[in-house]
Every structure is written in structure tokens, then in C-alpha cells.
Structure 1
Amino acid sequence: MRQGDRWAVLDRLPRAGHETAAAERQRLLRVHGRSVAWVPPLFLCAAIAVVDWNTTGEFRVISWIVLVPGIAAAICGVWGTAAFAVLSLLTYVLVDNAWPHQYQTGLPDFILVALGGILATLACAVRVRGDRRMLHMRDIAETTRRTVLRPLPPGWGDLDHAAVYLAADSEARVGGDFYDIQPGPRGTRVVLGDVQGKGLGAVEAAAALLGTFREAAYHEPELATVADRLEVRMLRHVRYRKAVGRDDGERFATGVLVGFPESRDPDVDFVAVVNFGHEPPLVVAPDGVRRLPPGDGLPLGLGDLVDGPPLVLRVPLAPGETLLLVSDGVTEARDAQGAFYPLRKRVAEAVSADPGTAEPQRLVAFVRDGTLRHCGGRLADDTTVFAVRRPGPGPVTTRSAAGD
């Protein structure tokens, strides 16, 4: 799969809070790709004129036509709103003059309709400018996110892999979730992490950590050294932000660092793991689900609170077993009663019913869909689901979760 295709596929995945109000409004006001935003104000204009024509002279409603450009200002463009302002004024003049003189509303209501049209057009111009700015900021957020999370080629690092990112239901759509795979002469290293906080500050921290990971994971022979490099990078980043006057407080990042051995020998059935205060990964296999030990590491950026580096654990992971890593958007997703999403239980049930669910692409799709169902599509935090597997005999494959 080409890199561009990969992102096109990911764009079709359901995302919590993906659309801004402007994008949602544009989508709802289109039928078969054509805008129908002009229909409501036109219908209202005609309805007011007809009702006024069929009422008695003592009860005139033609001045209500001032509502027409107001409705248009909320859903149409500037020129469309201006056109409805003119149409409303002309309709007012024609209908009002059709009545006998004693029943005409006269100059005061004419001024009201004219002034209402002018104000509606100005309000529409302000709204359109705000919508464009919001859409532009959304595009910047998506571009930034894709810059941080580089596309991973199929079979990268001799691993089957699948991943999906779900944006939280919030205005600050950019968060600090990050993940990557880096092959090197000492094996393949995998990382998933979550920087505390949101916004560009969190993205900058994630980008800094990923840059260090890609270099250290390739060059450093020991996983403990890679972990130490990440800790130092986080501390340097925080100090730099303070020096330039953009103090984020004591920003930190939780994460999991995994080292796969260089050998593809099926008898090599272990991985090295360093946990920086993150939710322990799950090992998912056709015969069941188990959780890796949590380790004793503190989040990145807080390592100076303890003596010595975090412990590197050597844990069993046979070829064909899938390692499932998630950010806290999954484990902290709540339903209407406030209950957290029971990730391990749901995955175990799915694998028991269908062992094929343990494949990375199907597993990611299952967790994605289950999380969204559990929280009703309203995620409290950006969410990343990442599954990797050292394949057994047979070709290495990578597919997107969108196909399930």
C-alpha cells in the first residue's frame, strides 16, 4: 500500500468529534453534492408573503420577512445572504403596496427590513470568516498530526502492524499521542506514548520524542540506553520551552518501549519492554489474552525523581502473538454510567469467539469500534490503537483497520 493510500484509508475511519460545526453544517446542507442552503430562506420568504396576502388588513405579517436574511446569514454565503436581503426588501415593497393605503405598514417597516438585511449580510461575513479560519486550523491540525505520525511501510521492521488514531471530541483536536516502529542492526524497536496535555505544545513534545526514538532505536545497542535517551530528551524539551517563555509546567509523557530481537528464528520467543508509567500492553493470541507486567518506570520527564534508569523487562512473546498497545483514550473511555471500557475482557471474549481477531488489523478494528460504541462516539481524549506482531511462517502483511 502506498503512503498516500494509507492516509486516504485512515481518513475514512470513524472519528469521534471529527467535524467542526462549520464542516457539519456544510455536510447537512448538501444533497447529492449540491448545496440546498437557499431552500429554507426562500421557502420562508414565500410563506410570509402568502400568509400576509391571505390575512385581514388588521393583521399584517409582511414585516416578518426581516427574518429571511437572518436565516440566510446562518446557512448561506455572503452573496447569497445579500441576495435574500434584496429579495426580502423587494417582496416587502410589492406585497405592502398591493394593499389599500390604510392597511400599508409604510416607511418604518421598510426601514426595519432594509436595516435587517444589511445587518444580516454583515453578520454572515463575520461567520464565513470564522468558518474559514476554523476549517484552516483543522487542516493545520491534521497536517501536523500526519507529520508527527509518519506512515509505516508494510512489513516495516519485519513486523505485521496496524494502527488507528481517533481524534477526541474537543476543539483542541491535536493531542500528544505518538507511536512508531524503527528497525535497526540490533533488532526492531517499537514505541507508543501519550504526552500529557493537548495543543501544539503536546505535539512538539511528541515530535521531539519521536525524533530521538528514531535515531536512538537505530544506533543504540541496548534498549535501556534508548530509554535513557528518551528521558533526557523530554527534560531538555521542557527546559527549552521554559527558556523561550512557553512554560507548559511539568509536562511529562507516559509510554511503552518494546525491543524485538534481530533474529527471526521461531525459537526466539521474547521481547524486551520498558514501561514509562503507561498502561501495560496486552499480548493477544488465539488461545487467550494476558497483560504484560507494568514495570516500575516513571513517566518521561519525571525520571529524576528516582535513582537509576527504569527496569528493562524480558517477557515471553512468541511469533504469531500480537502485542496490543493503546493510549488512555481507550482505557479511560466511559459509557453513560461512567464505567470504563473493559479492554482486556472485551478482547478476550472476541478472541475466544473468533481466534482470527488476534490478527493486528482485525484487532485494531475491533478495539476502535468497541471503544466508540462504549462511549457513544464521544471520546474524552485522543485515542491511539497500535498492534504489532512478529509473524510466524508465511508472508508479512499489513492492512488497514478500515477494511473490517
Structure 2
Amino acid sequence: MTKVLDRRPRAGHTDAVRRHQLLRMRGRSVAWVPPALLLVAITIADFNTTGEFRIISWIVLVPGIAAAICGVWGTAVFAVLALVTYVLADNAWPHQYRTGLPDFILVAVGGVLATLACAVRMRGERRMLHMRDVAETIRRTVLRPLPPDWGGLDHAAVYLTADVDARVGGDFYDIQPGPHGTRALLGDVQGKGLGAVEAAAALLGTFREAGYHQAELATVGARLEVRMLRHREHTTALGRDDGDRFATAALLGFPEADPGTVDVMLFGHDPPLVVGSGGVRSLPPGDGLPLGLVELAADGRPHVHRVPLAPGETLLLTTDGVTEARDADGAFYPLADDVARAVAADPRTAEPRRLVAFVRDRTVRHCGGRLADDTTVFAVRRAVRQVVAAEAEHGRLQS
């Protein structure tokens, strides 16, 4: 998949990784340098002070600094070096100027405590790195990587979570090729937390099966609706308080027999933007309620709308993390206008990869990096060679 990676700064578990990367030079660790320099500086400074103002006891800071950036064994080594250096430096002074046993105990206890603190830190970092791996596995399971040109589509996506410590939330997207054409889905589960992730995984699982087997896009939409209702019934039976959860979604179908069109079903979701060298236009708003709320609809399930799609035009789908992004004055991000200006200045912006990167960067800049909700930007278009092949086959059949 042509996937644009998240460049937004992260906190939490990645701080440990970033710190270790900064403390390496040419593949070798240089974490020992700061405490070693401090050890030498304090020793030299002590020999250049008067007897009434001794600072050798400050050497207790050395294992403390090492505990923050070195490993357990490294911290233990600096604790011993600090103690030995203290003894040698203190004994080099006349007896009346020595700090003696009290500061010796201070340095010794400080070294022991620093080593223990380093062990606790290392244990916490290992746990955070493990949790990062678990979260990454969940993310790859829910939002599986998509191969380039998957299902005959050029595509790109970026997913930013509002919680910088999380790797996945309630937004979801996927592409499913099949014998009845390629289908694409983007959605947003109401709420946050693991319950939203669970609902997103359930809907994606249904989409991957129904999108492949079902001939009609409306049937795929119906299967998604039923799956959401079943998921709500299950969570309610478990006594959980998220049994009224729902999801907005945009379901797309790219029929092989008609390469110049796209089928669209909207379940309470904003209509996609069609972005091309000729400008930006929005598809008609949908007539469906979010998944899980079909009983409130007077006309039942939404209809499938087939709309023309010119070669090279890209469908841009976003979740409300983009459309509801606000600046410092409370103004919403003007997505359509901003994209239209960018395409007018450079028509190559309509390419999925460039388009997704542009929307991501502009959204984050508009809200000052403070995303209020999970944010997904998803762009798809028919691969040019697939359009040419389909039109040639369509012409051959008509002749």
C-alpha cells in the first residue's frame, strides 16, 4: 500500500526509543559520556577549591545522572566509580579538610538508590516497549497493510489517533477486491477506547467477507448493518454500557463493467470529495443513518448511488477528525476549499499519496497539533492501466 506514515510527534512509550537513538553515535552507545564528564568535572573542581568549600560530595549526582540514561550495570559501575573517586579525592586533603564518613555514606547510599531507580526505569521501559508491540499488532490486525494497486486502485491513507499513546482507535478503512469488483470502506465508530476498536474490527471482518462474496453493493451494506446490530446485542448481553454504539461509514464500489463510474453508499457519513485536475466537487449527501440505527430510518437502508468518475479523479474520504478540526479561533478546517486551491496550484496534488499528505499536514497545522478526535484520511482512484484495460475490454464486447 502507498501508505503515508504518521510524522506527528508522539509521546509516551516512544520517548524511550527516541532517547536511546539520540544517545548513540555510529551504532555505539554514548550514554556513559555525560556521567563520566560530570565525574571528572566535580573531581577537578574539588581540587581547585579551598578547604572550607569542598564539593566532592556532589559526586553523588553522577550515579543519579547515569540512572536516567544508562543501563543497570552502567549505573552500578558509575556508583562504584563515584564512591572510589570520593574516597581517593577526600583522602588527598589534609585531615582537617576531609568531609569524612557522613558524605561517604551519602555517596554510597546515593549509588545504591540510583541503581535501584535505574532497574525500575528499565523495567518500565521494557513494559512500555512490549505494550507498543502489542498495540502495533492490534493496529495491523484491524487496519491491515494493503499492497500497492490493491484491487486495481491507487490508494494512500494516514491514521492519526487523538490519544498519542494509542496506535489504533475507532476509525477504520479497507479495500476488498473480489469477483464482483473492488469495494472500499471508511468508517468511524462512535466513542473511544477498546470498545470502539472492537466494533471497528467486527465491521471490517464483515466487510472483508461480504465485499468479496456479495454481488450487490447494497447487500454488503445490509450485512454491515446487521453486523453492527449483532455487535450491540452482544455487548448489551455482557452488561457493558456501550450497547448503544453506532458507526458512520462510506461504502464504495468500483464495478468492473463500468470503469467510468463509482457506486456510493453513505451511512451517516460525509460524502467523499472528488479531486481531479479540473477541480474539486462533493458527491451528493447520502440518505442513510449510521450503522446500528436502521430502526430509526423511515425509508429503511440507504440507496446505492452510481456517479461518474473521470480517469485520474481521486475520491477523498475523511473522518470527523479532519472536518471538525478547529483552529485557535474555533473555525473549522475548510477542507474542500483548501484542497481546491492546492489542486489549482499543482494538479499533481490529486494523486492519492500527495493528497493524503497534504490534508494530513494542513489538518494538523490548522488545529495546532491538538487533534480532538481520531483522524483518518483515505484516498483512492482507479489505477490508470486498469481504466485503460477496462475500457478496451468494454469496447471489444460492444463491437
Structure 2-normalised TM-score?
A: 0.88
Whole-Å separation in 2 of the counterparts to 1:73 and 1:203: 37
User: For residue 314 of structure 1, what is the aligned residue in structure 2?
Assistant: 306
Contact 1:195 1:206 in 2 (8 A): yes
Q: How many Å separate the matches in 1 of 2:182 and 2:208?
A: 11
1:133 aligned residue: 127
Distance 1:109 1:337, change over 3 A: farther
Aligned to 1:36: 30
Root-mean-square deviation (Å): 2.5
Instruction: Tell me the percent identity.
Output: 74
Choose from 363, 366, 371 the match for 2:355. Answer: 363
The answer to whether the 8 Å contact 1:17/1:378 transfers is no
**Letter in structure 1 aligned against 2:220:** V
- Flag the 1:339–1:138 CA change in 2: closer, same or farther, 3 A: farther
Offset at 1:184? 2.8
Farther-moved stretch of structure 1 (116-125 vs 358-367):
358-367
- Is the Cα contact below 8 Å between 2:3 and 2:156 reproduced in 1? no
Deviation string, structure 1 residues 185-233 (Cα, Å, up to 9, x no partner): 3332210112234443332222211110111122223322221211221
Once residues 346 and 325 of structure 1 are traced to their aligned partners in structure 2, the CA distance between those partners, rounded to angstroms, is 15
Q: Within the alignment, does 1:289 sit opposite 2:280 as a pair?
A: yes
- Give aligned pairs, total: 387
Counterpart contact for 2:148–2:154, Cα < 8 Å: yes
Q: Which structure 1 segments of 5+ residues have no match? A: 1-5, 398-404
Question: Which residue does 1:64 correspond to in 2?
Answer: 58
Q: Over residues 284-322 of structure 1, what are the superposed CA-to-partner deviations in whole Å (9 max), with x where a residue is unaligned?
A: 011110112221322222333334112333333233321
Q: 1:318 to 1:147 in 2, by over 3 A?
A: same
Partner of 1:345: 337
Whole-angstrom CA distance in 2 between matches of 1:280 and 1:137:
36
SS of equivalent to 2:244: coil
* Matching residue within 326, 329, 339 for 2:321: 329
Q: Structure 1 residues 94 and 248, CA, compared in 2 at 3 Å: closer, same or farther?
A: farther
Provide the C-alpha distance between the structure 1 equivalents of 2:304 and 2:360, rounded to a whole number of angstroms: 29
Q: Which moved more, 1:105-114 or 1:171-180?
A: 171-180
Which residue in 1 is equivalent to 2:396? none
**1:280: which partner in 2?**
271
How does 1:243-262 map onto structure 2 within 5 Å?
243-244=237-238, 247-262=241-256
The alpha carbon displacement at 1:391 in A equals 4.3
Identify the residue that residue 200 of structure 1 maps to in structure 2. 194
Residue from 148, 156, 161 that aligns with 2:150:
156
- Trace 1:16-55 onto structure 2 (pairs within 5 A): 16-17=9-10, 20-55=14-49
Provide Cα deviations, 1:266-285, integer angstroms capped at 9, x if missing partner.
xxx43222222223211001
1:114 aligns with 2:105: no
Q: Which amino acid aligns with 1:311?
A: H
Is residue 2:290 matched to residue 1:299? yes
CA contact (8 A) 1:258 1:272 kept: yes
Any idea what SS the aligned residue of 1:175 has? coil
Q: Distance in 1 between matches of 2:55 and 2:244?
A: 62
Highest RCO, 1 vs 2 (Cα 8 Å, sep ≥ 6): 1
Structure 2 distance, partners of 1:43, 1:179, is: 52
- The one-letter code matched in structure 2 to 1:225 is T
- Quickly say closer, same or farther: Cα 1:156–1:60, change in 2 above 3 A: same
Amino acid at match of 1:55: T
d(CA) in 2 for partners of 1:281 and 1:334?
20
- Whether the 8 Å CA contact 1:158–1:396 is kept in 2: the answer is no
Could you tell me how far 1:75 is from its partner in structure 2?
1.1
Is the 1:74–1:124 contact (alpha carbons within 8 Å) kept by the matching residues of 2? Answer: yes
Q: Assess if the C-alpha contact under 8 Å between 1:238 and 1:247 holds in 2.
A: no
Q: Which of 5, 8, 14 lines up with 2:7 in the alignment?
A: 14
Q: Report how far residue 138 of structure 1 moved.
A: 1.0
Structure 1 residues 245 and 391: alpha-carbon distance in aligned structure 2, compared to 1, 3 A threshold: same
Please state whether the residue corresponding to 1:304 is helix, strand or coil.
helix
* Mapping of residues 206-221 of structure 1, within 5 Å: 206-221=200-215
TM-score normalized by the length of structure 1: 0.87
Deviations 1:342-391 (A, max 9, x none): 22122111111122221223222322333344345554443322211134
